[in-house]
Structure 1
Amino acid sequence: MTKDIKIAIIGVGGVGKAFISQLASYIQRNQSTLSISVVYIARSSTALISKDYSPLPLTAFVPEKLDAAGVPPLSVPDLIKFLKDCGSEAILIDNTSSIELASQYPEFLKSGIHIATPNKKGFSSEESLWNDIFAAAGNSGGSGGYVFHESTVGAGLPVISTIKDLIDTGDEVTKIEGVFSGTLSYLFNQFAPAGGNEAPRAFSEVVKVAKDAGYTEPDPRDDLNGMDVARKLTILARLSGLSIASPTSFPVQSLIPKPLESASSAQEFMTNLPNYDADMGQLAEEAKKEGKVIRFVGSLDVASKSLKVGLEKLDASHPIAALKGSDNIVAFYTKRYGDRALVVQGAGAGGDLTAMGVLADVIKIIARIK
């Protein structure tokens, strides 16, 4: 029997465009066994809505089609009603970073609408939202739709699925440590490479190169404040069984010089960042004299219920020190694995990789739909 599925997509930026392209290819490959129709595509100001639930064209989709459509997006209650009335199973794809949308996940799930998303906000903000989401989710003991969020940590890397498999099979996570930001991985791999004999480059120069190459957010402070890593660590801690109030409830080191936190623009921040290169340069030199390198690390210890995010000095032989490019690495220490961690490593950023993780979640949902 052919499964009939309707999909709503919100967010058509880098991840959204890549997801639409990958989804179109997936639909083409599986058209003999699946009937998948994208019936809603929206960005913040405009939307394409298939009022009769016929499939919207995905081939060669560009965001400009939304601008030309000129239709305001549906409100959340109206979108829920639209998807409930479709007569089929419905999946919401949230490719945004909106806490406003994420806060409505429980309502979507209670209405039987499934969710696949890379949006970290719903899973790393106030703990009450986390609890409400999974109380409603059909794959977590609730009676509502299924929710999957693999790409909230590590883009396309199997980080969430790995920790869930460990726990579901009865293992106990004791400690997790790693580099969770592709941006910060790139910055420090360039700034203080392991085994390098040359003097460290100016940190501001490395940030500029990364920004110009598109590795950072448009305002690099959104990467340097450490909150992206804190959110990912919060998600893993909650999956490990810890009660974490929010990503601001444990120590998070910001790499933004205090006087530049209030810079009025990214340009002002970048212009003045060289004035603070000496501080970071000194840290790198001190580490080098000890035969170590500095890296931006997130770690959690389950027994002590402690989490922290910030710079650490690591031996040059440490697996984290040997990372290349913008790779992520996550080491899971568990009762079964003992002192030898289970390591997940690889490219942890980029629109195509994140979209792949979202599509993999969609496939998991489809497999569970009766």
Structure 2
Amino acid sequence: MKILKFGGTSVANAQNIQKVQRIVSQIDSDKAVIVVSALGGITDLLLTAQNQAAEQDDTYKTTLAEIENRHIQTIKELLPIERQSSVLSAVKSDLNTLETLLEGAFLIGESTPQLSDKIVSYGELLSSFIISEYFISAGLDTSFKDSRELILTDETYGKAAVNFKKTNAQCQAYFDGNSKRITLLPGFVASSASGNTTTLGRGGSDYTAAVIAAAINAEELQIWTDVSGMYTANPKLVKQSRAITRISYEEAMELSHFGAKVLYPPTIQPVLAKAIPIRIKNTFDPDAEGTLITSMKNGGDKTVRGISYIEHIALLSLEGPGMIGIPGVSKRFFEVLSQAGISIVLITQASSEHSICIGISEAEAKVARELVNKEFDHEISTGKLQPVVVEEDLAIIALVGDNMKSHQGLSGKMFSALGKNNVNIRAIAQGASERNISAVINAADAKKALNTLHEEFFEARVKQLNLFVMGVGNVGSRFLRQLYQQRSFLKENLKLNVRVIGISNSRKMYFDPEGIELGNWEEALSKGEKADKELFFDRVRELNYRNSIFVDNTASEEVSDAYATYLRESIAIVTCNKIACSSDYSNYKELKALSRTYNAPFLFETNVGAGLPIIDTLKNLVASGDKVLKIQAVLSGSLNFVFNNFNADNTFKDIVKQAQEEGYTEPDPKIDLSGIDVMRKILILARESGYELNLEDIENQSFLPDASLKTTNNEEFFKTLEESEEEFQALYKEAAKHQSRLKYVARFENGEASVGLQHIPEGHDFYNLEGSDNIVLFYTERYPDQPMIIKGAGAGADVTASGIFADIIRIGNF
């Protein structure tokens, strides 16, 4: 015989009940017991009506009318007209009794636990009767049996304890004498020895089915719900989660205890001793395999079987010197909570015995604090103990698996993954069986923590990166295009799932929590809201995604000023904006320190040489113990382009204009031509080499006339260039006379740096530097005579975007 239980969503309406009937009609067993919950949402409505009546709020009548309409509508949709009359009559009779109970609560202005059990029992009693009549009308050999006649309990109303000896005897006697193929029972309800209606707690329909299964030694217990089994994590929060095909009783108990709502935690206990398999199936996808729960232990390399969590948790901490070596403190602490019926979810105690910390439901925290403070009033008043400390807005996240104890490093892997994503752990608990590792975290971090751990333990090494992109102009748009083109390659070859969650320009910003479709990001952005840098950061923080990266493609000082706030939230930064790293040395050092403290990478490869691996190479030299002695470099692709193309046959202004139009210069070309941009780059290289230097320490031998340097806009700037053409031609002719080329060179040696225009003779490493190329010569202790040379395209939107792209990949590989 098989036992099938169908939950509230499975019997929420006539259409779903018809699905249940089709499943039951195909059962491959001679006999079956069907246990059903109340119609979806009815139990909540019954509780609402009860509370309204107890508060003498006559809107309970409206709620009762809604309950009545739901059941009558279901009858009319399920049953043929000729069978409706008798069923409607019986249901209305029960509803009249329910109305009387609610009127009683209204008149006395209160509701007792006993009355509450009577009221809420009508959900299952009505649904089971209606469904049994529908089964009969559909031709199924069905009998209805009231569970209150089979399951006997004590009188702990709301969550009664089953008397298994009497219950088993009554179940065996009834089913031995029952010839019907299908027996339909209401879940959740039972009765006491004195005949009073009791209930088995929310989720008690699962428990009803398990009690019956154990009593009659059923072949299998099936729990039919709205998901295809127990999942590796909550599928509503972790979209990559998947159903677990096979799991042990112990693993299932741990997962259900820690929030896996697909199974009511006490359900397993009755069937465990008799090794009756439990199969969890999906009413709305009956062909899905589901989850089989058995006594078999899972072999192989399956260490973590699932990740679960409990929300609305509070931590209570009792501590003080008076606890050390004093017997009985723990007993009193737990006893006072037990007597108040407060369930403890998690316990942790320091080996010094200086403190005890427990996790309980947030709803019970206030009462618990008052009770414990009262119990230890003397010790608190004498300073032996401190008043109880309560922390709220917490959640418990747990790794579960039978084989976890045989694998080293799981705890370290768990806490490292959480730490990298700025998930603060408030308390830790791990049993001696090592089947469960639990951590208390902030409730706001629960979704991020679940996704982080699921990615770490289940997702075939595919790492999700969540990008927030500020600046989608020349460089930013090319970056998004490259990302769009390479998204499949990244996932298949580098195991990186890169999503852009937010984008912004100076006018608009747009967010999509599921990831922006990069094929039409321009259209999405055009429909976005007004750009606001502070609001942009607030959105990034509120989304609280794992592996978040802020990508700055701007040249804005205001944007760079916000880097510290991102790093403090463990949000990585990738930027081509040179302002932060060339700002005051103290700010540069703080950003680097924040990056280390909060495990948030701060990468700025494109600050020097666009897509060339200059900074990364320098970092590796320094990290390996080498010391930089001297740097010589041509670091401005725009200036190199200008002086490679400027000659006696054109004008300096026209060449600068061309460089601007082709994207080789900053939007304000004066930044490049004044030498400020090159000064920032050599400053960054000096700092990354380990030297303390500021921008004002660098000598700038500018070739621009003072009039050009004093301009405030591009129009004025280009006008001064035109007016100074003779001076520029003179510079060119002087270099040509010496058979040299003009190159804007940056130098760093002996702690001093300078930038300026130089004559480069034929044969020099810089002489044949073409187009917008950059070149850097690193003279180090290991390369004292023949320098390490890095050379290539050092300007342009595409290569800069590729440098940004490369930094993102570096973070993905951390």
Which TM bucket (shorter chain)? 0.7 to 0.9
1:239, distance to aligned residue in structure 2 (A): 0.6
Q: Is the 8 A contact 2:780 2:787 kept in 1?
A: yes
Cα distance in 2 between the residues matched to 1:114 and 1:264: 35
Match of 1:187 among 638, 642, 650: 642
Cα distance in 1 between the residues matched to 2:562 and 2:657: 37
1:134, distance to aligned residue in structure 2 (A): 0.6
Cα distance in 2 between the residues matched to 1:179 and 1:297: 5
Aligned to 2:756: 310
Aligned to 2:594: 136
Q: Is the 8 A contact 1:5 1:36 kept in 2?
A: yes
Cα distance in 2 between the residues matched to 1:87 and 1:310: 45
Relative to structure 1, is the Cα distance of residues 252 and 74 closer, same or farther in structure 2, using a 3 angstrom cutoff?
same
Pick 1 or 2: higher relative contact order, CA cutoff 8 A, min separation 6: 1
Q: Secondary structure at the match of 2:580?
A: helix
Letter in 1 for 2:509: A
Aligned to 1:167: 622
Relative to structure 1, is the Cα distance of residues 150 and 312 closer, same or farther in structure 2, using a 3 angstrom cutoff?
same
1:274, distance to aligned residue in structure 2 (A): 3.2
Q: Is the 8 A contact 2:474 2:663 kept in 1?
A: no
1:283, distance to aligned residue in structure 2 (A): 3.0
Between 311-320 and 205-214, report the one with greater CA deviation. 205-214
Q: Is the 8 A contact 2:537 2:566 kept in 1?
A: no
Relative to structure 1, is the Cα distance of residues 289 and 31 closer, same or farther in structure 2, using a 3 angstrom cutoff?
closer
1:317, distance to aligned residue in structure 2 (A): 1.5
TM-score, reference length from structure 2: 0.41
Length, aligned pairs only: 352
Pairing 1:134-283 to 2, within 5 Å after superposition:
134-138=592-596, 142-191=597-646, 201-245=650-694, 247-263=695-711, 265-283=713-731
Letter in 2 for 1:103: D
Cα distance in 1 between the residues matched to 2:545 and 2:639: 45
Cα-to-partner distance string for 1:67-119 (whole Å, 9 max, x where unaligned): 332x1335437625634643422111111112222122122112111111111
Q: Secondary structure at the match of 2:581?
A: helix
Aligned to 1:196: none
Larger Rg: 2
Q: Is the 8 A contact 2:740 2:762 kept in 1?
A: yes
1:213, distance to aligned residue in structure 2 (A): 4.3
Q: Secondary structure at the match of 1:252?
A: strand
Cα-to-partner distance string for 1:279-333 (whole Å, 9 max, x where unaligned): 23333333333332221111111x2x11001111221221112111111111111
Match of 2:483 among 14, 20, 23: 23
Q: Is the 8 A contact 2:585 2:693 kept in 1?
A: yes
TM-score, reference length from structure 1: 0.88
Match of 1:9 among 453, 461, 469: 469
Letter in 1 for 2:599: G
Q: Is the 8 A contact 1:203 1:280 kept in 2?
A: yes
1:212, distance to aligned residue in structure 2 (A): 4.8
Match of 1:123 among 577, 581, 586: 581
Cα distance in 2 between the residues matched to 1:157 and 1:365: 17
Letter in 2 for 1:308: S
Match of 1:355 among 801, 809, 813: 801
Cα distance in 1 between the residues matched to 2:703 and 2:735: 17
Q: Secondary structure at the match of 1:30?
A: helix
Cα distance in 1 between the residues matched to 2:469 and 2:812: 16
Relative to structure 1, is the Cα distance of residues 284 and 222 closer, same or farther in structure 2, using a 3 angstrom cutoff?
same
Q: Is the 8 A contact 1:179 1:329 kept in 2?
A: yes
Q: Is the 8 A contact 2:707 2:720 kept in 1?
A: no
Letter in 1 for 2:487: I
Letter in 1 for 2:655: V
Relative to structure 1, is the Cα distance of residues 3 and 45 closer, same or farther in structure 2, using a 3 angstrom cutoff?
same
1:209, distance to aligned residue in structure 2 (A): 3.9
Cα distance in 1 between the residues matched to 2:743 and 2:659: 16
Cα distance in 1 between the residues matched to 2:797 and 2:536: 29
Cα distance in 1 between the residues matched to 2:791 and 2:806: 18
Aligned to 1:346: 792
Q: CA RMSD in A?
A: 2.2
Between 147-156 and 247-256, report the one with greater CA deviation. 247-256
Q: Secondary structure at the match of 2:521?
A: coil
Relative to structure 1, is the Cα distance of residues 119 and 284 closer, same or farther in structure 2, using a 3 angstrom cutoff?
same
1:107 aligns with 2:553: no
Q: Is the 8 A contact 1:18 1:351 kept in 2?
A: yes
Aligned to 2:732: 284
Aligned to 1:48: 510
Cα distance in 2 between the residues matched to 1:323 and 1:7: 36
Q: Secondary structure at the match of 2:696?
A: coil
Cα distance in 2 between the residues matched to 1:87 and 1:313: 52
Letter in 1 for 2:525: L
Structure 1: stretches of 5+ with no match in the other structure = 193-198
Structure 2: stretches of 5+ with no match in the other structure = 1-458
Relative to structure 1, is the Cα distance of residues 29 and 189 closer, same or farther in structure 2, using a 3 angstrom cutoff?
same
1:219, distance to aligned residue in structure 2 (A): 4.1
Cα distance in 1 between the residues matched to 2:672 and 2:745: 13
Cα distance in 1 between the residues matched to 2:742 and 2:536: 50
Q: Secondary structure at the match of 1:122?
A: coil
